[in-house]
Amino acid sequence: MKIMSGNSNLPLARAIAGYLELPLTDASVRRFADEEIFVEIHENVRGEDVFVVQPTSYPANDNLMELLIGIDALRRASAKRITAVVPYFGYARQDRKPGPRTPISAKLVANLITEAGADRVLSVDLHAGQIQGFFDIPTDNLFAAPVMAADIQARYGDESLMVVSPDVGGVVRARALAKRLDNAPLAIVDKRRDRPGQSEVMNIIGDVKDRACILIDDIIDSGGTLCNAAQALMDEGAASVTAYITHGVLSGAAVSRVSNSALKELVITDSIQATDAAKNSDRIRILTIAPLIGEAIRRIADESSVSSLFD
Ligand code: R5P
């Protein structure tokens, strides 16, 4: 088995390789003067089971091209099996046509990864579970929920918890976390705009008064969804609001938005390499999912059960 990494999240790739007690495959990713990407593998991979770690986070297009070119290099070097390990699968939010004459980019990216030569895909908290069906190759979708639940139990286990989904679409994810927290009660933030042009109203379904609310979502991007939901919960009398989000995309002014919000704490994972601003923020904490991914890789290589990781 070999673990290769692109440039998108080297610390995570190193931590996964460390968990598996393997060195990272010696490869380099370079740029030509015109910014075209060139990947070179400096060791023999013929007949190997190779896992390429590369989240397709910002800059999404460059990171995606690095992944595709890396897979192509491995295929042409006769690797036996290539698994694209994409802890954060970019373009996932474009998973349906929101209007006429628009693309389904998540499907296009799935096609590109498959066409490049991947035999399998391993991802974490795909934005929508059905994205697995966009691939015609085996796709494992891991969940960060066990890592989050352990942290919540350790930090907030003594409090009167309430798991909250920031929108109706996230209820399944929130329910799964609540189940791991001894069936904690569930609330939902229901965003409504009664008429076009009117500002959005946040209604809270569930009684959050005096509760330590745990907001859960897959992505924090601009931070708007989460910070607005946190304020609405505090306005309804919540004791505190903490957010657990798998993928800290944190674009633009998101970190300062979080710092100025009603959130007690934002907890993200290292699926995406954190910016310095995120690392230095005293309101943001990062949990590692390297052991989770490492263990899944070990099980794929051994051909043992991956789903039993979540029993
Ligand atoms: C939406 O469906 C996602 O689950 C997130 O809620 C969304 O992407 C967060 O975006 P933002 O942080 O920009 O509000």
What is the spatial distance between Cα 106 and Cα 92, in angstroms, rounded to a whole number?
A: 5
Look at residue 290 and tell me whether its pLDDT is greater than 90.
yes
Look at residue 176 and tell me whether its pLDDT is greater than 90.
yes
Domain boundaries 145-288, corresponding CATH code: 3.40.50.2020
pLDDT confidence tier of residue 272, bands split at 50, 70 and 90: very high
pLDDT given for residue 191 in this prediction: 85
Helix-strand-coil percent breakdown of the chain, rounded to 5? Answer: 35, 25, 40
Written as six digits, the tokens of 19 are 């968990």
CA of 296 relative to ligand 1 center, distance in Å? 27
CA of 218 relative to ligand 1 center, distance in Å? 8
Ligand 1 contact, 224 CB (< 6 A): yes
Q: Which residues contact 56 (CB under 8 A, 6 or more apart)?
A: 8, 63, 64, 67, 86, 88, 89, 90, 91, 109
- CA nearest to 2, candidates 23, 19, 18, 16: 23
pLDDT confidence tier of residue 276, bands split at 50, 70 and 90: very high
Looking at every residue in the chain, the average pLDDT score rounds to 96
pLDDT given for residue 192 in this prediction: 80
pLDDT given for residue 197 in this prediction: 67
Q: Span 264-280, mean pLDDT?
A: 98
What is the spatial distance between Cα 89 and Cα 131, in angstroms, rounded to a whole number?
A: 10
Question: Taking the model in full, what pTM does it have?
Answer: 0.96
Ligand 1 contact, 48 CB (< 6 A): no
- Look at 55 and 200; give whichever has higher pLDDT: 55
Written as six digits, the tokens of 67 are 């992944």
Strand order in the sheet with 212-220: 201-205, 186-192, 161-165, 212-220, 240-248, 265-269, 284-287
Under a CB-based contact definition with an 8 Å cutoff, are residues 187 and 206 in contact?
A: yes
Ligand 1 contact, 125 CB (< 6 A): no
Omega within 30 of 0 (cis) for the link into 59? yes
Tell me the backbone φ, ψ of residue 211, rounded to 5 degrees.
-95, 150
Question: CA dist 156 to 66, 189, 249, Å?
Answer: 40, 21, 25
Instruction: For ligand 1, atom 9, name the residue with the nearest CA.
Output: 220
- Percent of the chain with pLDDT strictly greater than 90: 95
Under a CB-based contact definition with an 8 Å cutoff, are residues 306 and 140 in contact?
A: yes
CA of 246 relative to ligand 1 center, distance in Å? 11
> Which of 225, 246, 247 for a ligand 1 pocket mutation test, highest count of atoms within 8 Å of Cβ?
225
Torsion of CA 107, 113, 114, 119, to 10 degrees: -130
Domain 2-142+291-310 has CATH 3.40.50.10800: no
pLDDT confidence tier of residue 160, bands split at 50, 70 and 90: very high
Written as six digits, the tokens of 270 are 């290292």
Q: Span 14-28, mean pLDDT?
A: 98
Look at residue 296 and tell me whether its pLDDT is greater than 70.
yes
pLDDT given for residue 116 in this prediction: 98
Ligand 1 contact, 223 CB (< 6 A): yes
The alpha carbon of 53 is separated from its chain's Cα centroid by a whole number of angstroms, namely 13
CA of 95 relative to ligand 1 center, distance in Å? 14
Written as six digits, the tokens of 240 are 């505190």
CATH 3.40.50.2020, the chain: domain bounds: 2-142+291-310, 145-288
pLDDT confidence tier of residue 18, bands split at 50, 70 and 90: very high
pLDDT tens for each residue of 66-93: 999 999 999 999 999 999 999 999 999 9
> Which of 89, 127, 217, 227 for a ligand 1 pocket mutation test, highest count of atoms within 8 Å of Cβ?
217
